[in-house]
Structure 1
Amino acid sequence: MSAPAPSRGPVENIDAVLRVERQDGEKLVFHHRVFHAIGSFAGTPQFVVLQCGAVVCWIAFGGVFPDLALDPFPFPLLATILALEAVLLTSCVLIRQNASDRILEKRDRLELQINLLSERKATRSLRILQKVAKRLNVDDEDCQQDELAQETSVDQIARGLREREEAEKAQ
């Protein structure tokens, strides 16, 4: 009989998940990294301050030096640049959001696997406890065979959830 694998502490498990996510991030091609960086920066107060400062400077320069202004009032070039920037920033943020969604889906699958393994271990522990109670002649109604000691059917649970969702939609 082989020895059980050494258990890992919570910190080691978290480090393992973060390591896998970091490796996934390193696999991203260069332009996706650029889009992620832009998407991250666009959602900060520093970006808002920088953006407002640039627009104020553009307008102030056009107002103070109207003869030198590249873009006189009503600033059509500024409006075009800001509209293009809005489209590009929106795209960068959506690309970053899609990547975040994929990471969350992976975490959800990992969490589901861990929950299923935990449920299986708990079921096994209950069965062992029931056998011990039976062998020790412990007479208690809680020690009888119950549904907690039975294997959980994931298919049955999924079908039940789907039926409830469909019933809620129908109402």
Structure 2
Amino acid sequence: MRTFDFAPLLRSSIGFENINRLVDLATRGEGDSYPPYNIEKVGEDAYRISMATAGFTRDELELTAQDNVLIVTGRAEPSEGEPGREFLHRGIGKRAFERRFQLADTIRVTGAGYADGLLNIELVREVPEHKKPRTIAIDGQQPTLEAVNDRKAA
């Protein structure tokens, strides 16, 4: 029996409840996994993407949000090096990258910070008033407060 691992999908999709879009992303594959990152929920409607960008400076990183896509780009500029500095082993990877995150219509990028080799991108879910749940009057009568409280207690 064949099973599907949806974990790669959930790592790069934020704010989606639509499984069809996740399945569409699964068929494309994720590709390169550099640089590593975390997506965490930090509040009721707040999220954070943390990317490990060791070796990059703020000037070498660029964030672009356009058409529900967040693009994080790292340009690995050649280092001038210091005279007399010779590496015997270079294990800290610093190569150019472009990472794309598909965002839901209700997700907005609110800011970013860079500290200790981590790029932290703050996101918030903003649901417009016309998309929020609302009570519909039956026969033009709004439900009484007592009826609403009785339903919540049940």
Which has the greater radius of gyration? 1
Structure that is richer in strand per residue: 2
TM-score, L = length of structure 2? 0.25
| Higher relative contact order (CA closer than 8 Å, sequence separation 6+) | 2
User: Is the helix fraction higher in 1 or 2?
Assistant: 1
